[in-house]
Amino acid sequence: GCFMDGKLYPFGDIARTESCLRCSCSPDAMRCCSLFHTPIGYDKENCKVVFNQKSCDYDVVQKSDPSKECFVYSRV
């Protein structure tokens, strides 16, 4: 298997790791890509970005009231 972040993963495809990555584990390498996109287009003055570990994505919420989401118009 492959070792990452102190955890052993089996050979083959891994749909989601604890670090929110999708990986492929082979005898010679472990290749991964992220499951989330980083927000870059939003109201930076009134909103903030918070990583949501449960959904493996970034939430963009109002600074004054984090229970309210902000509109995001671009991600990378």
Number of H helices and E strands in the chain, helices first, is 0, 9
Strand segments (E) across 35-73: 39-41, 47-52, 57-62
Query: 0.75 exceeded by the pTM?
Result: no
Residue entry with tokens 């298997």:
1
Of 26, 14, 63, 27, nearest to 43 by C-alpha is: 63
Go through the domains of the chain in sequence order and give each one's CATH number.
2-34 (no CATH), 39-75 (2.20.25.590)
pLDDT digits (tens, 9 = 90+) for 17-72: 988 999 999 999 999 999 999 999 999 999 999 999 999 999 999 999 999 999 99
Of 69, 18, 67, 71, nearest to 41 by C-alpha is: 71
- Would you mind telling me the total number of residues written for the chain in this entry? 76
